[in-house]
């Protein structure tokens, strides 16, 4: 959908259509000194000159509705065209089911266009019928699993109309196909947060599920981030869940040096330090050692960040040593 359709066989300019003879086209007006002059095609100028004309007179007619379709074909991201089309649909009492079919066709041609997804949402709200939305978004995600607009529309439909029942099954399928699909991990969190809830049982189930996925691909940032998110709902914290700490230590002892594992262990150390707990495994010295390893070898692209974290823990180490000396003197 663009100006590439200028050579369409059989196209008749609006200025040459007898049924539009009563309308005076309104040319684009960018003022006397436009910053950038866009070289539109003759077809584009013709359609939008007539669109501006009906917009100015607020014409509500079938021909105006057809005009908006031609305008959308040339620029599907034009908000004003979509808004006016919605006004026309209301005024003309148009069959909204046929409009859903039309919008679906536009989405297939322009799947990352916010305006068409918004138009779809308004139609579903008017009809109070989300029955096609899961299939529609699923098809869009098959084409691009990271299509933000499709995910946003899907989450809106699910949350608004309570369509959670089979969503975990859908997410599982996506993660089986691609365990690194960050959007699918995000959707899993969405379902947990808005539907299943974070009971202790659910938290432990999600921890076990995520651990199995990490075992499959250890260098998967999405799964590690999801594990962090789940542990936010564990009252024991990131350092207090024995299943998680045992898993991390097992990976480490088996020579896994994924930067995400090392960063996770650093987070465990940080939490233990902040709690003021005495732990022979998760302490300042280990945090410093891992920061240095990440900066110099395992995550060099973020060496400045890990160097910063190293300095942070080193300051804490000095503070601990100072306090230790002071306590010995006092004794």
CA nearest 179: which of 209, 208, 213, 146? 213
Q: Which of 60, 112, 159, 218 is catalytic?
A: 112
- The three state secondary structure string of 8-56 is CCCCCCHHHCHHHCCCCCCCCCCCCCCCCCCCCCHHHHHHHHHHHHHHH
DSSP-derived secondary structure for 237-279:
TTTS-HHHHHHHHHHHHTT---HHHHHHHHHHHHHHHHHT---
* d(C-alpha 213, C-alpha 229), whole Å: 15
Taking each helix axis as running N to C, give the angle between helix 148-161 and helix 133-143, from 0 to 180 degrees, rounded to the nearest 10.
Answer: 160
* d(C-alpha 312, C-alpha 267), whole Å: 13
Q: Are 207 and 231 in contact (CB under 8 A)?
A: yes
Whether 112 sits among the annotated catalytic residues: the reply is yes
Residue with token string 């007539």: 50
* d(C-alpha 104, C-alpha 322), whole Å: 68
CA nearest 310: which of 286, 328, 329, 292? 292
* d(C-alpha 297, C-alpha 305), whole Å: 13
Distances (CA, A) of 20 to 105, 179, 273: 27, 56, 76
Distances (CA, A) of 166 to 169, 173, 191, 196, 210: 5, 11, 10, 12, 19
For the annotated catalytic residues, the residue numbers are 112
């Amino acid at each position: 959908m663009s100006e590439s359709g200028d050579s369409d066989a059989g196209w008749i300019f609006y200025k040459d259509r007898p049924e539009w003879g009563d309308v005076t086209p309104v040319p684009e007006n960018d003022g006397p000194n436009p910053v950038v002059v866009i070289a539109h095609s003759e077809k584009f100028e013709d359609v939008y000159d007539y669109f501006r004309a009906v917009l100015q007179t607020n014409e509500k007619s079938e021909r105006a509705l057809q005009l908006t379709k031609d305008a959308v074909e040339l620029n599907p991201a034009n908000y004003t065209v979509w808004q006016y089309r919605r006004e026309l649909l209301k005024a003309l009492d148009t069959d909204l089911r046929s409009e859903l079919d039309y919008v679906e066709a536009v989405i297939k041609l322009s799947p990352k266009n916010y305006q068409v997804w918004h138009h779809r949402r308004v139609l579903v709200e008017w009809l109070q019928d989300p029955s096609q939305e899961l299939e529609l978004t699923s098809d869009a995600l098959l084409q691009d699993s990271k299509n933000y607009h499709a995910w946003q529309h899907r989450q809106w439909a699910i949350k608004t109309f309570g369509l959670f029942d089979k969503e975990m099954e859908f997410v599982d399928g996506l993660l089986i196909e691609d365990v690194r699909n960050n959007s699918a991990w995000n959707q899993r969190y969405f379902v947990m947060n808005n539907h299943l809830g974070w009971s202790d049982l659910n938290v432990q189930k999600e921890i076990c599920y995520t651990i199995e996925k990490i075992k499959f691909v250890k260098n998967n940032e999405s799964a590690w981030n999801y594990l962090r998110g789940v542990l936010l709902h564990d009252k024991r914290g990131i350092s207090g869940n024995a299943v998680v700490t045992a898993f991390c230590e097992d990976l480490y002892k088996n020579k896994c040096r994924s930067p995400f594992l090392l960063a996770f262990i650093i987070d465990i150390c940080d939490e233990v330090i902040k709690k003021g707990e005495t732990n022979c495994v998760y302490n300042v010295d280990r945090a410093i050692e891992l920061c240095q390893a990440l900066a110099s070898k395992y995550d060099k692209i973020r060496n400045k960040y890990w160097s910063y974290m190293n300095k942070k823990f080193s300051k804490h180490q000095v503070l601990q040593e100072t306090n230790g000396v002071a306590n010995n003197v006092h004794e």
